[in-house]
Structure 1
Amino acid sequence: MKRLLLSMLFLALIMTTVSGTASAKSNHMSEKELNKFLLNAGTPQEILESMDLDTKEFIYNNSSDGEVNYGAKNTNFFSVDPQTNKLTKVVEPDGMMSAKAYISSSDLKLTLYQFNVTSGGVSYKDIYAEYNWIDYTGMGGNTGVDKDHIAIAVPDGWEIQSGQYACANQWKADYSGATWSAPNSSACNNGNPGEYSLYGAGWQFTGPKIDSVFHKGTVKLRMRKQDSDAINRVVVLYSEANSSAFGYSVGFTWGPASVSITPNTGSNNTGSTDLSW
């Protein structure tokens, strides 16, 4: 009965949610076509196999306005400590632990992708930061991803390109046969960051406000190197609101390839991943 009620709630949420635009194009291609696009961009086969269909389509929709070449990727896993209720990075297995067990012991996965894009004769870096709540039971104290934040920080010597942002999130109920909702940006300000800095951008999620569902999403910014000596590194920070009660808000502190998110009221959990190339 509980799963039936959850299913009905989930379907009602989808029907009543206003769809947002995940990207400027929102082109729907077959997975075969998306794989061809990414392979032609030099994406290694093992990286391609680790992407789901929604990630592939999001990258195509937001980076195919020029010549695209794969750059780099990094992923970290986090678990919620049952005693402190804090996100802790899961130590990568040393061969004694299978990859499957490694993933199943995690609650949150954070991934950074970097793609090289040449458009109008100008070279850019497209940065994608992806979160995936593998186990929603680790989402301590929060209601879904409501009032969670995600931010990308860049180093000195890089210029973030105005109007080249994107964001979309998705959810899936926990019952047999459930599928992911369509990528939707209405819960993250239609893809526009709520926080801007010379050193990065941050997005806030405003729903869905339901527990017992899986959540994932991706944000993107484009940057251009202005100083040939600038380091090639970006950082993503995910902030989980321990309470999404009325009045919860946060403050951002930025530095070169550095960002912190501090609640003005209440508390949060954070996890961070970096990528160098």
Structure 2
Amino acid sequence: MKKKLSLLVLSLILLLSTSSSIFASPSGFTESELDTIFEKAGTPQELINQMDYYTKLFIVENSGEDFEFSSNSTSLYKFDSTLDTFIEVKETDIQPLGYIPSTDMSLSMYTFNVTVNGVAMKEIYSQFEWLNKPKDFPAGIGKDNLGIALPGGYEIQSGRYACAVQTKLEKNDAWGAASSSRCTNQSPVVNNLYGAVWEFSASQNYLNIYYKGTVKLTARTVSSNPVKRAVSRYSQARENALGNYGVSIGIGAASISYTPKSGSNDTMDADTNW
């Protein structure tokens, strides 16, 4: 009986020691240490609380520990072709056809100021989070796209792109570690002087789960008076009856277009300024 009790106590000790390090990473950051980095950067506490551990880690690993918070936005936008601009979508608005409902997914943007080799630059992140499990084919987020675009007056820095995806099985589960394996080619599929667009992949084995993904680009100001704004657009792929989907991607000044060549798509937009 004593032996069984000793084994039980040992098991509990091992479990507790494992639990205490569950939010430690190979790079050695605890969640408390990451929170301190974001607090020193001037990040609003509400935003810090909203971010999961691996989102914070992804930002620190890609932007370093010495960054300054610039802006964030969780407002939803849609492009109004009549006005030729983005307009905010209210929760009470009837959302147009072809637009991903805010009850299904959220799209957020974060911007940070950094210094790279003595030059001031802007790190721009966009993050989608499926609030419900994607049910349309292709599987999960397969063939979906997410992009970031800037107006003129900025120089996009090659070699400083980043992309990662997180998953979880159930709504109340903690988000898993960020991995670039579900970012096609682990780099943008399209990029130019205005921005970049990434594509995601998923197998049938990963259909019935939740997804969160984050992409990032770095830009240097090259204009004396640039428009301080960035936009992001997500595209959810929908295969046709033959199982085909193809899309033509365009990136312009603070604009991204996804035009299906086969199948169809739904989109969501976000906008931030600083």
TM-score normalised by L of structure 1: 0.76
Match of 1:198 in 2: 193
Label 1:221 to 1:142 Cα distance change in 2 as closer, same or farther (>3 A): same
SS across alignment from 1:264: strand
Unaligned stretches of 5+ residues in structure 1: 1-24, 79-88, 94-103
Match of 1:243 among 228, 239, 242: 239
Greater shift in the superposed pair: 118-127 or 206-215: 206-215
Shift in Å, 1:239: 0.2
SS across alignment from 1:146: coil
Indicate whether 1:116 and 2:113 are aligned: yes
Asked if the contact 2:54–2:176 (Cα under 8 Å) also holds between the matched residues in 1, the reply is no
Label 1:76 to 1:208 Cα distance change in 2 as closer, same or farther (>3 A): farther
CA offset digits 1:29-64 (Å, max 9, x no partner): 110000011111111212211211111111100101
SS across alignment from 2:75: strand
Match of 1:216 in 2: 212
Match of 2:253 among 248, 253, 256: 256
Of structures 1 and 2, the larger Rg is shown by 2
Shift in Å, 1:28: 4.5
CA offset digits 1:85-127 (Å, max 9, x no partner): xxxx86247xxxxxxxxxx971100000000001221000000
Asked if the contact 1:147–1:205 (Cα under 8 Å) also holds between the matched residues in 2, the reply is yes
Shift in Å, 1:189: 3.3
Q: Distance in 1 between matches of 2:188 and 2:64?
A: 21
Indicate whether 1:266 and 2:242 are aligned: no
Q: Distance in 2 between matches of 1:42 and 1:76?
A: 21
Label 1:261 to 1:49 Cα distance change in 2 as closer, same or farther (>3 A): same
Greater shift in the superposed pair: 68-77 or 110-119: 68-77
Matched pairs, number:
231
Q: Distance in 1 between matches of 2:126 and 2:117?
A: 25
Match of 1:84 in 2: none
Label 1:259 to 1:117 Cα distance change in 2 as closer, same or farther (>3 A): same
Shift in Å, 1:27: 2.8
SS across alignment from 1:136: coil
CA RMSD, Structure 1 to Structure 2 (Å): 2.5
Match of 1:228 among 224, 230, 234: 224
Query: Mapping of 1:91-170 within 5 angstroms?
Result: 91-92=90-91, 106-136=103-133, 139-170=135-166
Q: Distance in 2 between matches of 1:195 and 1:206?
A: 15
Identity %: 40
Query: Mapping of 1:5-154 within 5 angstroms?
Result: 27-64=27-64, 67-76=66-75, 91-92=90-91, 106-136=103-133, 139-154=135-150
TM-score normalised by L of structure 2: 0.77
Q: Distance in 1 between matches of 2:89 and 2:203?
A: 27
Q: Distance in 1 between matches of 2:64 and 2:154?
A: 21
Q: Distance in 1 between matches of 2:234 and 2:63?
A: 23
Match of 2:202 in 1: 207
